[in-house]
Amino acid sequence: GASWTSVNMGLVHTYVLSLAIDPTNPNLLYTGTEGRGIFKATSVTEPTETIILGDVNDDREVDSGDAILVLRHSAGLITLTDPQRNRGDVNRDQSTDSGDAILILRKSAGLIDQFPGEGVAKLAEAGSILADPGPTRASLGEVKMLPQGIEVPLVLDAGVYGGDLTLTYDAAAYGVAQIKEAEGVLIITNTKQPGEVRLSVARLEADEPVALWVVLEGLAREVDLGLTGRVFGRDGWPSG
């Protein structure tokens, strides 16, 4: 009662029967007590804005713009703030990555009504390394030789809705020339580090395998490539 003042003779009773906000000033709160008068608070705490899970850019909407930010963060192109990472971690596995981007895209498209992490805090099991066998995964396809380089297909199995992948190559022999777009796949790439291509990808439908083509420029005929990372299923959780 120390923060209360009375419209009568002072606060003398704290048994409250009713509360009302002043319609002309939301910072004033009135209370009615049992037979002891009406009191008002002049230091009402400002309301806290509701956090929208998945709204990474804080525009009060959950859409592909938020998924793009998550993918750019996952690819190492930008660093999200702590509040942004919290809003972007929609599956609540303590990591903001392409698994979350998949769910954000699916909610934006109306394929899901809410995120599995809404109102729930849970930890994910360790994600699988791509070299390990599993029901769904990403792999290197057959490399195509070009007059001035090579085309490298990164194949996502059916059932793989996205992933955070790193293709490694010999930087002394090749340089990145192009990452080709794949229909229906949102791709964010990071080629800042010589010798590696980081890709964070997400797609809405995964009934069929899809190939992501990376074109490397160079004249070497010996090809030494590697692929690491992890992939995610429709629920945004590591697959495989």
- Which tens digits make up the pLDDT trace of 54-109? 999 998 999 999 999 999 999 999 999 999 999 999 988 889 999 999 999 999 98
Residue 228 near residue 211 (C-beta atoms within 8 A): no
Which pLDDT does position 15 carry in this prediction? 66
Structure tokens at 23: 């319609």
Task: Determine the distance from the C-alpha atom of residue 136 to the mean position of all C-alpha atoms in its chain, rounded to a whole number.
Answer: 21
Rounded CA-CA distance 202/164 in Å is 9
Residue 176 near residue 197 (C-beta atoms within 8 A): yes
Structure tokens at 169: 């190559």
Which residues lie across from 215 on neighbouring strands? 151, 178
Which pLDDT does position 133 carry in this prediction? 38
Structure tokens at 63: 């859409």
CA 46 vs CA 17, 29, 32, 49: distances in Å: 23, 12, 21, 9
Structure tokens at 236: 């945004």
Which pLDDT does position 165 carry in this prediction? 92
Which pLDDT does position 10 carry in this prediction? 54
Of 153, 141, 146, the closest CA to residue 180 belongs to 153
pLDDT in tens, 25-38: 777 777 777 666 77
Which pLDDT does position 123 carry in this prediction? 31
Residue 116 near residue 104 (C-beta atoms within 8 A): no
Which residues lie across from 164 on neighbouring strands? 200, 230
Task: Using a cut of 0.75, tell me whether the model's pTM lies above it.
Answer: no
Give the chain's residues under pLDDT 50.
1, 8, 44, 120-135
